Amino acid sequence: MIKLSGIFPPVPTAFDPDENLAVDKMRDNLRRLSKFDLAGFLILGSNGEKVMLSEREQREVLDSARAAITQNKLMLAGTGEQSTRATIDLTKAAAASGADAALVLNPSYYRGQMTAQALIAHYSEVADASPIPVIVYNMPACSGLDLTADIVIQLSRHSNIVGIKDSGGNISKIAEIVRGAEPGFQVLAGSASFLLPALSVGAVGGVLALANIAPRQCIEVLSSYHRGDLEKAREVQFSLIPLNQAITATGGVPALKAAMDHLGLYGGPSRSPLLPPDEDRLQAITRLLESHEIRI
Amino acid sequence: MIKLSGIFPPVPTAFDPDENLAVDKMRDNLRRLSKFDLAGFLILGSNGEKVMLSEREQREVLDSARAAITQNKLMLAGTGEQSTRATIDLTKAAAASGADAALVLNPSYYRGQMTAQALIAHYSEVADASPIPVIVYNMPACSGLDLTADIVIQLSRHSNIVGIKDSGGNISKIAEIVRGAEPGFQVLAGSASFLLPALSVGAVGGVLALANIAPRQCIEVLSSYHRGDLEKAREVQFSLIPLNQAITATGGVPALKAAMDHLGLYGGPSRSPLLPPDEDRLQAITRLLESHEIRI
Amino acid sequence: MIKLSGIFPPVPTAFDPDENLAVDKMRDNLRRLSKFDLAGFLILGSNGEKVMLSEREQREVLDSARAAITQNKLMLAGTGEQSTRATIDLTKAAAASGADAALVLNPSYYRGQMTAQALIAHYSEVADASPIPVIVYNMPACSGLDLTADIVIQLSRHSNIVGIKDSGGNISKIAEIVRGAEPGFQVLAGSASFLLPALSVGAVGGVLALANIAPRQCIEVLSSYHRGDLEKAREVQFSLIPLNQAITATGGVPALKAAMDHLGLYGGPSRSPLLPPDEDRLQAITRLLESHEIRI
Amino acid sequence: MIKLSGIFPPVPTAFDPDENLAVDKMRDNLRRLSKFDLAGFLILGSNGEKVMLSEREQREVLDSARAAITQNKLMLAGTGEQSTRATIDLTKAAAASGADAALVLNPSYYRGQMTAQALIAHYSEVADASPIPVIVYNMPACSGLDLTADIVIQLSRHSNIVGIKDSGGNISKIAEIVRGAEPGFQVLAGSASFLLPALSVGAVGGVLALANIAPRQCIEVLSSYHRGDLEKAREVQFSLIPLNQAITATGGVPALKAAMDHLGLYGGPSRSPLLPPDEDRLQAITRLLESHEIRI
């Protein structure tokens, strides 16, 4: 059984100044982040600008990433597409690239038709066909569709569906899922903003944009919690709030990339229509990174 | 400084079969609940059907409740109205009735006009005029307006605004408020469904519909957490989830009242247009209460 | 059968500078507006700040308004409360004041419980008890609840429910209601912003905030449409758009009152927490009124 | 200047029972629909399951469609992708296939970042690079993002942006756009449910799912309106409401395809996770088609 406990950064895809893929830069970032006690990496997540990549580019990114991720770290691959068949194709490609598990965002374009029945059939077909374990990905801020606890609990019964990354942050629902899902079903917080409360109701870790720039702090929330030091856990959790607000919640991928640039990782541009942070936001980010003594 | 740590049931207002006020029944309930280690009671909250009561009835309920609440328990009074002047009038009446603090739901009818500036002016005027401490009440499911962390943090600087009951359950926002508010500002969870995670980020207690029927369990989440027994805290928290789902989240006040009837408290009808639970729901509630061995 | 064809201004309630009721000022406004070919007036609507008034004040406003409204104009009275019993009480009081019909906003505080069954029971009880015809009032921007076409169509079968004021502006739903409702059920547009399209699918008129300041233009959309001059109807409709945007949609009741002040009617303050328009908005309103040559 | 007046069916993409592309079936449909007085066809719209197709399949569908669409009908091609560069690539491919205009759905995955500035930059870059005119496509039900009137009005100033298909159905906004946009900017209703009201405020036609199965009726709303027969226009508009409800609004693409099958066109399956209509819905659709005497 794959073990998802721990912290995973959702790795941005690197582009050169002309917005062309720069996989070497992504590999450099991965190597530098590998020295931290991270459980692994998510490739082709929302922060990885998956939806900005062509079919060919997605496969290239997966191959390149695996080459840079050591075998003691897990590689999760975002493989959710709008059609079941395309999701299966990409999941198989990810497995062939050496991904350890597929993180499958639900289809949502035809949200009026995405009944529980349709979603459960979709995930079941994908999990049946997938050579690697499937993790459900709930991301209402991007997909515009919020998976219910009931759907997730039903999916947890499939032997090849091993967990969920929940970015919605509805903590009552997270508790409901942990309580109702099959034993062993693993819940990952999808944002640093609710990591500690998610742990308090049984999450095993998180896929956190902030783990790209503040891996130490993200790991420390988890380790403090596990050794029972709730004061420390809360203190570090609180220190992540303004960072998360400025960088992830408000600024999005371009702000995360700007922060990476500031820390000496490669951030670079996002693909249009994503705009780079304006001067004010850039300065606010810089100031926050410095006042929080964030270093890689 | 008023101390809000602990558990408060938001007490339903009792009506006779003709939907007339039955304050004696409410008083009986209060006396029976007083034997538990509750911090106090909320009168005229959402579960108290405040919006169903005439101006005169609201004052009668406050007077009657205080007579039944011993001096070692706090009485919180819901006093939020749409106009600032009516809110001040009712807050003064509550103080005269012996309420220890006023829980003030934000006005929201003209939500397009309820800017941060308007809301802050409203709460400041109310807090200036109020003889008793003011607690902000955020209840987006009823008001249709979700107070931002920024607004609450600004309000926390007023010397007569001492805390917030947050029923929205956005745990990242609750953490942001605890972190950003004036020291001593007290956050109360507004639903049992997120009590434990709220504690993990610094809430001091909760105003919980379930505390009307499962006071022991609500108190135990709090005490387990405080003595560091996170396993026990989570176990009891989880046991509250199905109850909260069936009774509070789905069934509303009529379901809570039906549960009270089943437990030997007085529930009685809600005022129309609230409908009594249908037979199926009633049986589901009964079964849950019995399977969880809920007793008063 | 009461005939609702035509234009109705939802009359603001006048307050003096201390926010006390100034019924004489409202009466002056009513008399000045009576010279236009309006079908009648709505008293205690959203623009009438009904929710800002005490029970006693509401009744006083109804009595005063009727004294100023000539018998050849209809007086509609907003009488929707959260409880069925309070709605019935106020509806009877309105009838006693001489209102010709009651405009009943749906209860919405417990919106999770406001099923079709609950809403239909509520309206039916009110219509059964009401001495005057009932008009359904759908106003999702304020109530946070949007009545479905199905509910409205079912309500249209009650012999004492004669129409709907729909402020939601979902034009497909308005068409569905006209098509599906009992013959003779009358639909009124709830905003000048969609008056002409509503007429195109069978609405008979409108209750329009703009009719307080631009009665001529509102009436002209209707009369042009009825004589088949679609070009003219559209031209006047278009001229109302910027006014409606600036005054009603964005600025709310305080902006409407400011416009009335500028035109020589009595506007005066709104009750707190509604704030007066700031200087920029005030100037924008003035400029619009002048560039559109709005005069009373 | 391209003239968009008239009715356009958004043509479904045909799949065989194994969900493989069946372009010959789509071509047959196009030839049969060509006998009606339609202005043209939309290929790769939401009803064309564009998001279900691979990059290669999208190009194949465009090529095949053009071969079946006679030169006197316009071919509009849906070319909106999440990245600006992919949108430009597909738009150029569509132009090369012989499309007359590109219908560009806004990117929305990173909706938190899709400010007016980002969206205007995106559309401007696409329109600058496109060899064919660009039509903005607003479809909040699928994209989860509702373009404001201000954004559309600004875009109307670009010489290569010639119109909008608005499926949101906010009729006040449609009026605002017609009034505020550059002269000659053409507005198309995106659903039969609000065709007539859209015409009343200046729309020039519609891209209507129902035009695949009821082209005659859709055309008749338009022609009755233009010859001033408002009664007839409304009567036909009303007859479309139950069809639109059952087939388009509720049942989605699978219901539309089932209706096409019933009428002797080729419908066939949709791609998973879209599910075929269940037996009840199928019968309801059949009954509606027969009671409305819908025939191709």
State which H helix or E strand residue D116 sits in.
Answer: helix D116-129
The distance of B225 to chain C (nearest Cα, Å) reads 32
Q: Tell me, yes or no, if A165 is annotated catalytic.
A: yes
Cβ contacts of D161 within 8 Å, gap of 6 or more: D123, D127, D133, D134, D135, D136, D155, D185
Contacts of B12 in chain C (CB under 8 A): none
- The strand pairing partners of C146, in sequence order, are none
Chain D within 8 Å of A122 (Cβ-Cβ)? yes
Per residue in A16-39, is it b (16+ CB within 10 Å) or e — as a string? eeebebbbebbbebbeebeeeebb
- Supply the pLDDT for residue C138: 98
Range list of β-strands (E), D172-241: 186-189, 205-207
- Supply the pLDDT for residue C160: 98
Residue C89's closest chain B neighbor by CA?
A: B54
In the set A25, A50, A73, A165, the catalytic residue is A165
- Supply the pLDDT for residue C249: 81
Tell me: cis bond preceding D277? Omega within 30 of 0 counts: no
Here the tokens at position A157 are 């019964």
CA atoms within 13 A on the CB side of D54: 15
Task: Give the C-alpha separation, C26 to D151, whole Å.
Answer: 40
Q: Once rounded to an integer, what is the mean pLDDT over residues A279-292?
A: 94
Share of chain A above pLDDT 70, in %: 100
Contact B237 A175 (CB under 8 A): yes
Chain B within 8 Å of C133 (Cβ-Cβ)? no
Of C200, C201, C228, the CB nearest to D228: C228
Here the tokens at position A268 are 């670079």
**Considering just the CA atoms, what is the radius of gyration of chain B in Å?**
18
Confidence of residue A249 (pLDDT cuts 50, 70, 90): confident
Residue B20's closest chain C neighbor by CA?
A: C85
Cβ contacts of C127 within 8 Å, gap of 6 or more: C134, C158, C160, C161
- Supply the pLDDT for residue A80: 98
C-beta separation of B208 from B195 below 8 A: yes
Here the tokens at position B179 are 């972190």
Whether A218 has a pLDDT exceeding 90, the answer reads: yes
Task: Give the C-alpha separation, C214 to C260, whole Å.
Answer: 10
pLDDT digits (tens, 9 = 90+) for B53-65: 999 999 999 999 9
- Supply the pLDDT for residue B248: 82
DSSP A246: I
C-beta separation of A237 from A196 below 8 A: yes
Mean pLDDT for all residues in chain C: 97
Of A54, A84, A254, the CB nearest to D273: A84
The distance of C84 to chain B (nearest Cα, Å) reads 5
- The strand pairing partners of C42, in sequence order, are C10, C76
Q: Once rounded to an integer, what is the mean pLDDT over residues B84-102?
A: 98
Chain B within 8 Å of A196 (Cβ-Cβ)? yes
Global model pTM greater than 0.95: yes
Residue D193's closest chain C neighbor by CA?
A: C172
Task: Give the C-alpha separation, B230 to B236, whole Å.
Answer: 10
Instruction: Measure Cα distances from B206 to A196, B202, B219 in Å.
Output: 19, 12, 9
Nearest Cα neighbor of C97 from C72, C129, C132 is C132
Whether C250 has a pLDDT exceeding 90, the answer reads: no
Here the tokens at position B145 are 């307006």
DSSP D276: P
Residue B283 exposed, middle or buried by CB count within 10 Å (0-12, 13-18, 19+):
exposed
Mean pLDDT for all residues in chain A: 97
C-beta separation of D11 from D40 below 8 A: no
Contact D275 A121 (CB under 8 A): yes
- Supply the pLDDT for residue D249: 81
pLDDT along chain D (296 residues), means of 10: 97 98 98 98 98 98 97 97 98 98 98 97 98 98 97 98 97 98 98 98 98 98 97 97 89 96 98 96 95 91
Whether C244 has a pLDDT exceeding 90, the answer reads: yes
Continuous H helices in chain B: 23-33, 55-68, 84-97, 116-129, 140-143, 149-155, 171-180, 195-200, 215-226, 230-243, 252-263, 279-291
Here the tokens at position A1 are 């059984």
**Considering just the CA atoms, what is the radius of gyration of chain A in Å?**
18
Of D179, D194, D241, the CB nearest to C179: D241
- CB atoms inside a 10 Å sphere around CB A103: 29
How big is the CA angle at A242 (ends A236 and A245), to the nearest 5 degrees? 125
- Supply the pLDDT for residue C146: 98
- Supply the pLDDT for residue C45: 98
ipTM for the assembly? 0.97
- Supply the pLDDT for residue C248: 82
If phi > 0 it is left, if psi is from -120 to 50 it is alpha, else beta; for residue D54 that is beta
Identify the three-state secondary structure at position A287. helix
How big is the CA angle at A145 (ends A140 and A147), to the nearest 5 degrees? 90
- Supply the pLDDT for residue C231: 96
In whole angstroms, what separates CA A166 from the centre of its chain? 9
Contact A191 B199 (CB under 8 A): no
- The strand pairing partners of C236, in sequence order, are none
In the set C50, C165, C173, C257, the catalytic residue is C165
Mean pLDDT for all residues in chain B: 97
Q: Once rounded to an integer, what is the mean pLDDT over residues C160-183?
A: 98
Per residue in D187-205, is it b (16+ CB within 10 Å) or e — as a string? bbbbbbbbbbbbbbbbbbb
Confidence of residue B249 (pLDDT cuts 50, 70, 90): confident
Contact C200 D200 (CB under 8 A): yes
Tokens 């995405």 belong to residue: A114
Output the CA torsion B36→B41→B45→B50 (10° steps).
110
- CB atoms inside a 10 Å sphere around CB C17: 8
C-beta separation of C274 from B118 below 8 A: yes
The distance of C250 to chain B (nearest Cα, Å) reads 7
Here the tokens at position B242 are 């199905």
Residue B230's closest chain A neighbor by CA?
A: A200
- CB atoms inside a 10 Å sphere around CB C148: 14
Identify the three-state secondary structure at position D113. helix
C-beta separation of C78 from C45 below 8 A: yes
pLDDT digits (tens, 9 = 90+) for C15-59: 999 999 999 999 999 999 999 999 999 999 999 999 999 999 999
Task: Give the C-alpha separation, D117 to A74, whole Å.
Answer: 38
If phi > 0 it is left, if psi is from -120 to 50 it is alpha, else beta; for residue A181 that is beta
Contacts of D201 in chain C (CB under 8 A): 196-197, 234, 237
Q: Once rounded to an integer, what is the mean pLDDT over residues B176-205?
A: 98
The distance of B18 to chain C (nearest Cα, Å) reads 11
Chain A within 8 Å of D16 (Cβ-Cβ)? no
How big is the CA angle at D272 (ends D266 and D273), to the nearest 5 degrees? 130
- Supply the pLDDT for residue C74: 98
- Supply the pLDDT for residue A140: 97
At what angle are helices A279-291 and A252-262 packed, to 10 degrees? 50
DSSP A249: I
Confidence of residue B250 (pLDDT cuts 50, 70, 90): confident
- Supply the pLDDT for residue C205: 98
- Supply the pLDDT for residue A248: 82
DSSP C83: S
- Supply the pLDDT for residue A250: 86
